Structure 1
Amino acid sequence: MRVLYYDCFSGISGDMNLGALLDVGVEEAYLRQELSKLSLDSAFELVIQKASKMGISGTKVTVKLTPQWHVSPHHHEHRTFKSIEAIINNSTLSPSIKERSLKMFWMVALAEGKIHGKEPQNVGFHEVGAVDSIVDIVGAAICLEALHVKKIMASKIELGGGFVQCAHGTLPVPAPATLEILHNVPVTLGRVPFETTTPTGAAIIKANVDMYEKMPSLTIEKIGYGIGHKEFDIPNVLRVFLGEVEEKVAFSEEVVLETNIDDMSPEILSYVQEKLFEAGAKDVYTTAITTKKNRLGVKLSVLVGQEKEAEAMEIIFAETSSIGLRRSLVQKVMLEREMQRVLTPYGEISVKCVFAHEKMLKYKAEYEECKQAALNHNVPILKIYESVTVAMKERQDDSKI
C-alpha cells in the first residue's frame, strides 16, 4: 500500500508542506497549472527554489504578494470562509481537490470561530493572509491528490514555545487556533522557543492524516524536505517519506453499549438513533426481544469509539427510559474504503469503493444522491443505479489499458 509519512520534528507550515511535497516528486509545472485555475494569478507570485538549512538540502517555497496587491486600497478587507469557499467552488479544479481544500479551510474557520465567538462561516481572514492561506491549502490538496497515496501518516507534531506576534497582539505559542485545530492529535512542545507549527500547517495535518505513530515499517521510495524560513537550533525543515507498507487487515477496538427497553415509543427511539449518529456512533440498531413478564421490547445496541463513549452514554440516559447499560469491548475489522465520484447521464454520483490488498472488492452508490438524481430527472431510481454500474465498469476497463 502506497503511503506518505510526515516527520514533523520541526513542526509544519503551509509553505514547508508545499516544499516537501514538491521535493518528494510532485511536478512544479503541474502545481502552477492547477493553482492558475483559482484566478488569483495577479495577487501572488509562487517562488520555488532549491535551498538548504543546517546542511539539509530541499525545496523552499515562498508566496510573494504582487506589488499591485500590496498597494490596493482594498488590501485591508477581510474575506470570510464563505467568500473563500466561493473562490474554490467557482474554479475548474477537480471535485476531489475542492473537497480536500474546503475540509482544511473549514477546520481553520471552526477553530477561529470558537476562539473569537463567531460563526465559522463568518470568520474573517485578513486579505493578505487569505491569499497565502488559499495558495498553501489548495496547493496542499493539489499535491496530495497528485501523489495518489492510500494512507497518510504522521509523527507527533512539534509546536514550539515562547510567544508570537499576531494581529491580536502577543500570544503564547502554540497559538490558540493551532491548539484548537490539533485537539486530540499527539503533539510535542518546547523543542525550540519559537512557533514551529502554524494554524495552516495544523489544518493540513488534521484534515489529511489517517493515523499518528512513530516511524512505521515501510519500504522508502523517496524522501522530501521542505525548507522553512526560520532559524532554529534544529533544522527548520519538514521531512516526508513516500513508500510502501504491507497491507494488513485493520483491527480497531470499539465499545458496544446495550440496554433493554420495553416502555418507550418506537418514534422516540428513532429520534435517539439520530442523536447517537450525530454524536459520532459508528452503528446504532435495535433488536426485537421479550423482556420480563413477557413484555415486548427492543434491545438498543450502539457501536462507538472509546473517545465518544461518554457522550453516547449521556444521550442514552437522557433520552431513553434506560437506567443501566451493558458495556463490552469488541474488535472491529474494516476493509479499506474510499469515496469516488463517477459521471453518469444523470450527473455525478458518489460511490463508496471497498478494497483489499489494493484490489477493489465491491462498491455501492450513495443512496441519497441516487434518490435526488431520480427525482430531478423523473426516472426510476433503478436507472440511476444501473448508470453507476456502467460508469464504474468503464472506469475499471480504462484502468486495465
Structure 2
Amino acid sequence: MKLLYLDCQSGISGDMTLSALIDLGADIHYISEHLKKMPLDPFTLDVKQVDKRGISAKLLDLQFQDAGEAAHSHSHDHPHEHSHSHSEAHSHSHTHDDGHAHSHGETHSHSHSHSHSHDHDHSHGHDHGHEHAHDDGHHSHSHRKASTILGMIADSELPERVKQRSLAVFEVIAQAEGKIHGMDPAEVHFHEVGAMDSIIDIIGVCLALESLGVDRIVSSPVPTGHGKIMIAHGLYPIPAPATAEILKGVPLADFHVRGELTTPTGAAFLKALADDYGHLPALAIENIGYGAGKKNFEHPNVIRAVLFNEETVAVRENITILECQLDDSTGETLGYVMEKLLDAGALDVYYTPVAMKKSRPGTLITVLAKPHHAFVLEDILLRETSTFGVRKADWTRRILDREFKAVDTPYGSITVKVGSLDGEVIKVSPEFEEVKTAAIAHNVPLRDVFQEVQQAAGALAKV
C-alpha cells in the first residue's frame, strides 16, 4: 500500500501539488490523456525545472489554445483586482506571478473576457467573494456552478477513485463558499476554481495520485501566511475567508511569512483527501518530489511530496484517548454528550460503569479521536459534563484497510463495509441504517435483510 506524505512547509496550492506529484513519478501523459477525454478547452500540460533557493523543483506549465489564437500560458503577473463589465467578449494573453493562485466563489453568473497587457491593475464592479491563493497562477475563462462541475466529473470516464477524490475536493470548496455567501453550495458559482485551468489542477492531482497508486495521504501542519490582501470587497486578512473555512479541523503550522501561502484549492486537498496529519512516518522513503510556486520568498517556495510503501509494514495510526469520570450525570445527559462528541469528529465514544470515591457508582467516558480533534472534544467534555478535568493519552492502533461497496439484494442495493488485511478481504459488514430502512420499506424482519446482504456480500470475500 502506498502512502503519500505532503510536506507543506511553504503552504500548498493546486499547481504546486500537481507538479510535485509529477516530479515524484506520476505519469504526465496518463494525466493529460484522461483530462483530454473531458469537455475542457484544448490545452497542453507540461513541467519545467526551476531552482528555488537551492532546491531544484518542477514548475507547472499549463497553456490553453483559444479559438483562433495561439496557445497562451496561464501563469500571470497582476494584482488581485479586476475591473470589467458583464457580458463582454475578449481574449487575453498575459502572465502573472503572484506566487499563489487565487480561487473565489461568485454569487452571480456571467461570462466575459478582456484584452490587456501583463502588468495591470483592474478591479471588479460586481459582488463576489474573492479568495487569493498561493501559486496556482490561474485566470479563469468562465463562471461555472458547483453542480455543473460535479455533474461533469460524475458523468466522466475517469477511474472511479479519481472521481471520488475529485468530487470530494470540489464539494469541500463549494461548502465553504456556500457558507460564506449564505447560499446552497450546489448553486455557488466559481470563477477561478471553476475555470478550466483550476479544474485541471484538481482533477490532475487526483489522476496523479492514481498514477502513483497512492492509497493513504498524510499531511504536515500547514502555514497560511499573514498580512492582508486587497479584494473586491476591500482589504481582507490572510487567510482569506474560503481558505479559513476549509482549514477548520486541519492543524496549522506556526510559520510567520508575510503573504498568502495556502490557497482554497490546496486547503481543500488537505481537508478532503488527507487521512491524517502529523510528522514524517517511521518508514523507509521510496521517492521524493518537489513542486515549485512561482513567487520567490526568503525561503524555498516548494512543496515536498514523499512516497512510502507500507506493504511490508503493519500500518499503525496515531490516535488520542480522552477520559473523564462522572458520578452525577443522568442518562439523558450522557446520551446528549455522546451525540455531540461524535458530531464534532470523535472516532468512537463509549461509557463504562465504574466504582468511584466513597463507593459511588459512576460512569467512565472514553473518547477515541484523531489528534487534531482532541482540543475541541476536550472542550465539549469540560463544558457539557460535570467533570473538573479530562485525561489525555496518545495511543497507536492498527486498523484494516476499509472501503465501501454496494451489493444487490431482493430488498435493493445496500452498502457494506469491506475490511482487508494485506490485500485479503477478511470482514464484510452491512451498514445497519440501510438494512433497517430496507426492512421497514419491505415490511420484513431485520434478520431476513441481514441474511440476504451477507449472502450477497459473501462473493466479495472470495475476490
TM interval, short-chain normalised: 0.7 to 0.9
What does residue 75 of structure 1 align with? 111
Q: Tell whether 2:240 aligns with 1:175.
A: yes
What does residue 252 of structure 1 align with? 319
Given that 1:286 and 1:298 are in contact with CA atoms closer than 8 Å, whether structure 2 keeps it comes out as no
How far did residue 380 of structure 1 move? 3.8
What does residue 18 of structure 2 align with? 18
AA aligned to 1:303 is V
Cα gap change, 1:168/1:278 in structure 2, threshold over 3 Å: closer, same or farther?
same
Q: Tell whether 2:367 aligns with 1:303.
A: yes
How far did residue 14 of structure 1 move? 0.4
How far did residue 222 of structure 1 move? 1.7
Q: SS of the counterpart of 1:137?
A: helix
**Counterparts of residues 331-350 of structure 1 (less than 5 Å):** 333-342=396-405, 344-346=407-409, 347=413, 349-350=415-416
**Counterparts of residues 239-318 of structure 1 (less than 5 Å):** 239-244=304-309, 246-247=313-314, 249-250=316-317, 252-260=319-327, 273-285=338-350, 299=363, 301-305=365-369, 306-307=374-375, 308-315=377-384, 317=385
What does residue 50 of structure 1 align with? 48
Cα gap change, 1:8/1:277 in structure 2, threshold over 3 Å: closer, same or farther?
closer
Given that 1:353 and 1:362 are in contact with CA atoms closer than 8 Å, whether structure 2 keeps it comes out as yes
Q: Which moved more, 1:156-165 or 1:225-234?
A: 156-165
How far did residue 21 of structure 1 move? 0.9
> Can you list the C-alpha shifts for 1:90-129, whole angstroms capped at 9, x where unaligned?
3233443233223222332333344444444443311674
Cα gap change, 1:108/1:127 in structure 2, threshold over 3 Å: closer, same or farther?
closer
How far did residue 19 of structure 1 move? 1.0
How far did residue 390 of structure 1 move? 0.5
AA aligned to 1:30 is Y
What does residue 456 of structure 2 align with? 387
What does residue 28 of structure 2 align with? 28
Q: Which moved more, 1:2-11 or 1:324-333?
A: 324-333
What does residue 262 of structure 2 align with? 197
Given that 1:80 and 1:122 are in contact with CA atoms closer than 8 Å, whether structure 2 keeps it comes out as yes
Provide the TM-score with structure 2 as the length reference.
Answer: 0.67
What does residue 153 of structure 1 align with? 218
Rounded Cα–Cα distance in structure 1 between residues aligned with 2:457 and 2:352: 33
Given that 2:223 and 2:255 are in contact with CA atoms closer than 8 Å, whether structure 1 keeps it comes out as yes
> Can you list the C-alpha shifts for 1:110-162, whole angstroms capped at 9, x where unaligned?
33344444444443311674433322222222222332334322334343445
Rounded Cα–Cα distance in structure 2 between residues aligned with 1:250 and 1:269: 28
Q: SS of the counterpart of 2:21?
A: helix
Given that 1:374 and 1:384 are in contact with CA atoms closer than 8 Å, whether structure 2 keeps it comes out as no
AA aligned to 2:8 is C
1:106 to 163, 167, 171: 171
Rounded Cα–Cα distance in structure 2 between residues aligned with 1:235 and 1:326: 43
Rounded Cα–Cα distance in structure 1 between residues aligned with 2:158 and 2:441: 25
2:283 to 206, 215, 218: 218
Rounded Cα–Cα distance in structure 1 between residues aligned with 2:400 and 2:350: 22
AA aligned to 1:7 is D
What does residue 60 of structure 1 align with? 59
Larger helix share, 1 or 2: 1
AA aligned to 1:177 is A
Given that 2:378 and 2:390 are in contact with CA atoms closer than 8 Å, whether structure 1 keeps it comes out as no
How far did residue 200 of structure 1 move? 0.7
Q: SS of the counterpart of 2:462?
A: helix
Cα gap change, 1:48/1:330 in structure 2, threshold over 3 Å: closer, same or farther?
same
Q: SS of the counterpart of 2:111?
A: coil
What does residue 96 of structure 1 align with? 161
Larger strand share, 1 or 2: 1
Rounded Cα–Cα distance in structure 2 between residues aligned with 1:354 and 1:227: 37
Given that 1:336 and 1:354 are in contact with CA atoms closer than 8 Å, whether structure 2 keeps it comes out as no
AA aligned to 2:461 is M
Rounded Cα–Cα distance in structure 1 between residues aligned with 2:416 and 2:44: 34
Rounded Cα–Cα distance in structure 1 between residues aligned with 2:55 and 2:353: 64
Rounded Cα–Cα distance in structure 1 between residues aligned with 2:24 and 2:4: 10
Given that 1:108 and 1:203 are in contact with CA atoms closer than 8 Å, whether structure 2 keeps it comes out as yes
Q: Which runs of 5+ in 2 are unaligned?
A: 69-88, 92-108, 113-141
AA aligned to 2:200 is V
Provide the TM-score with structure 1 as the length reference.
Answer: 0.76
Q: SS of the counterpart of 1:104?
A: helix
What does residue 144 of structure 1 align with? 209
Q: Which runs of 5+ in 1 are unaligned?
A: 318-322, 395-401
Aligned pair count reads 380
Cα gap change, 1:367/1:94 in structure 2, threshold over 3 Å: closer, same or farther?
farther
Q: Percent identity?
A: 35
AA aligned to 2:453 is I
Given that 1:2 and 1:244 are in contact with CA atoms closer than 8 Å, whether structure 2 keeps it comes out as yes
- Tell me how large the CA RMSD over aligned residues is: 4.0
Given that 1:48 and 1:59 are in contact with CA atoms closer than 8 Å, whether structure 2 keeps it comes out as no
